[in-house]
Structure 1
Amino acid sequence: MKRELNIPVLQYPWPTIPAPYPDYFAKEEAGWLDADYTFMAEEAVRKYKGHCLADGASYMAPTTINIDHLRPMARFFLWLTLYDDYYELWPVKRLAEERDRIIDIMLGESPKAGDIGLYRQAAIFRDEFLSFMPYEWMERLAKSMYRYTTYGIMEEHRYRTEKRFPSILNLTYLREYAIGMYPYGDLVEPGINFALPRYIAEHPVIMRLRTLLCRVMFIQNDWYTLEKEMAEESEVCNMILALRHHHKISLEEAMEEARRMHDEYVKEMVGLQDNLPDFGDHQKAVENYVFHLGLNITGLNDWYNAMTVRYIPSEFAWHKLKQ
């Protein structure tokens, strides 16, 4: 099952550290899918088992060697991906209701009898994270989930249902949120076993680094998912396809323009990482945190190219999710 498009590998100034447990969670992931994702079609679940989603966490957090810390990250990687696949085309009003219930569970409520497994898995990763992370961090993760769902998935909905490309400017902001990297970026902290104090997490430089992480990652995603999304024909929220559409240029020219945008975001990230403010007693911890933002990027870059078959058109599983 090879790709037909020749997609060059994106390059970064940060190191790529080999994942310490590249396939550790394969059996556990299959169990999670069989236990709590039965609301999806059997064929979709079968394909998901081959996508190595849970092991993506090992690639994005390659210095996390404590399995009990890595497990909720792996569980969340799978959960967030299937959350996106499942809810992507739901009516906005219904999705808002689902969003609010999920967030309530992340903040402490219990799933109800009859809830689909996404709710149960959210309660499980919540409890796993809170065994070693402060509740304030969980509140931050819940807020990121709200923003991702509301300003990402729900904002993209009208363009997808109308099969209409957003403007390049609008798409830039939509993809920043819709890529899911605001919530997944929060997992850098449990990965290094350090929760940023609020005044640091909300510092403009740290917030800008988080924005740049999302922007680098959305282009990385749109880059490596290009073949799958071209096969869909109706895809309107891929930056490369939007650039080709709006600028009336070739696919190759659109890819080069997307790479230019990507490299500018990387350059700004490096500039901020090299010139951090003075965070006093937390300086070393913050430097380690921003270093791991870079490892998130290179780790996922490695996962796209070495581990998963998720984005090969023959492995297309989503949009056939309900029984």
Structure 2
Amino acid sequence: MSKNITDEQFYAGLQHLPKPHYPFPDFMHPDLQRQREEYYAWIDKEYTFHSKAAREKHKSHHLTDIAARGCPFLNGIEELRPLANFAANGAMMDDYWDRCSRDEMNEVTERITALLTGEDSREPSDNGIFHQFWILRQDAIKCGMPERLYKKYIAAIHDVLRGYAEERVYYKANVPPPLPVYLIIRLDTSGGLPFCKYVAMQKNYRDLPDSVLEHPFILRMHNLCAWMIGMHNDCISLPKELHRDGDTMNIVKVMQHEHKLPLKEAYMAALELHDSYLQEFLLLKENLPPFGDLQDTASQYATDLGVMVAGVYAWHTNDKTRYVKGGYVEGEYVSQG
């Protein structure tokens, strides 16, 4: 992205358009600042393969705040770490491998999945992204994360990585996907599904059986959360993505390309789709099926899914460094594909 364009050219009047809004309160985990300090240390120790400029930009993005705002009711920093690890390292790896090939991303996915499942239990000898995902597993074990919740969590992380591979096809072609394809890929790459699974670590939700956590109503709400997160991220990152070739996995670009709309009309169409998902989420939340003695707990869990989406959005709207002119970390990996 050129740093020589003016702020007016960068934003192209988009900052005055309506923004997503969620009817849920905004909370912050009490260990937000402590988790930030650990995050700075990760970058200094683990990310030496990045340039110093990239490391400093990543520090300014405060990526672990996404976890601290999305799941503010976790017990202590011990329970926060496995989610903060995914939030930060998932974003930084996506930046680093921004222009790798689909095959290269699939290879990365296989190695990370082996580390998360314990299929490969060896601690990586090199610091960096793989080592951090190995640490994620150790931290989940240390904080006593129930195995069935952990399996749901890492399965969702695997799907995020798989989505990263599939979107590379459209990055390379520099063309937006059709809307149905976008929805399949963005469901994963938004990162919302791992957060939905981790919400069950809060309060007494880990006591909810799979008959609740895997109920079609709840799984549909998870999908709606993931799409809302992906779409509100697309709206916020749009100015940056309009000025970079290959950044085509954006709902506004999809609407613009698919319906031959002017940019601002495409933005409004994207916001309308986002808002339709929000209304469906609220309707499902108010019409949960009967869960017997677990009804109140299931209802509170559904509400905290909404708090999670609002918390992730609060990070996006409070961040003034990642999606501004010159703030994005350009991919430094040189693809061999």
- Do the two structures share a fold, i.e. TM-score over 0.5? yes
The aligned amino acid for 2:279 is: K
Cα deviation for residue 156 of structure 1 reads 1.3
Select 2:191's aligned residue among 176, 180, 186: 180
Which aligned pairs between 1:269-288 and structure 2 lie closer than 5 A? 269-288=281-300
State yes or no: 1:159 paired with 2:164: no
- Determine the structure 2 residue equivalent to 1:294: 306
Which aligned pairs between 1:1-323 and structure 2 lie closer than 5 A? 4=11, 5-6=14-15, 8-18=18-28, 20-64=30-74, 66-108=76-118, 109-130=120-141, 131-150=143-162, 152-192=163-203, 194-195=205-206, 196-320=208-332
117 and 111 in structure 1: CA distance in 2 versus 1, 3 angstrom threshold: farther
CA distance in 2, matches of 1:88, 1:312: 18
**1:190-209, Cα deviation, whole Å (9 max, x unpaired):** 23363342332221111101
Point out where structure 1 has 5 or more consecutive residues left out of the alignment: none
Deviates more, 1:288-297 or 1:126-135: 126-135
Cα deviation for residue 8 of structure 1 reads 3.8
Kept in 2, the 8 Å contact 1:86–1:321? The answer is yes
Instruction: Classify the secondary structure of the residue corresponding to 1:191.
Output: coil
Cα deviation for residue 77 of structure 1 reads 1.4
Kept in 1, the 8 Å contact 2:124–2:130? The answer is no
* Runs of 4+ with deviation above 6 angstroms: none
CA distance in 1, matches of 2:22, 2:123: 45
Cα deviation for residue 18 of structure 1 reads 4.8
**1:265-295, Cα deviation, whole Å (9 max, x unpaired):** 0000011111111223332322222111101
State the TM-score, normalizing by the size of structure 1: 0.91
The aligned amino acid for 1:292 is: D
Instruction: Classify the secondary structure of the residue corresponding to 1:17.
Output: coil
The aligned amino acid for 2:43 is: L
Question: Number of residue pairs matched?
Answer: 321
Instruction: Classify the secondary structure of the residue corresponding to 1:11.
Output: coil
CA distance in 1, matches of 2:197, 2:98: 22
Alignment RMSD: 2.2
Deviates more, 1:101-110 or 1:27-36: 101-110
Kept in 1, the 8 Å contact 2:31–2:76? The answer is no
Cα deviation for residue 17 of structure 1 reads 3.0
Cα deviation for residue 135 of structure 1 reads 1.4
Point out where structure 2 has 5 or more consecutive residues left out of the alignment: 1-5
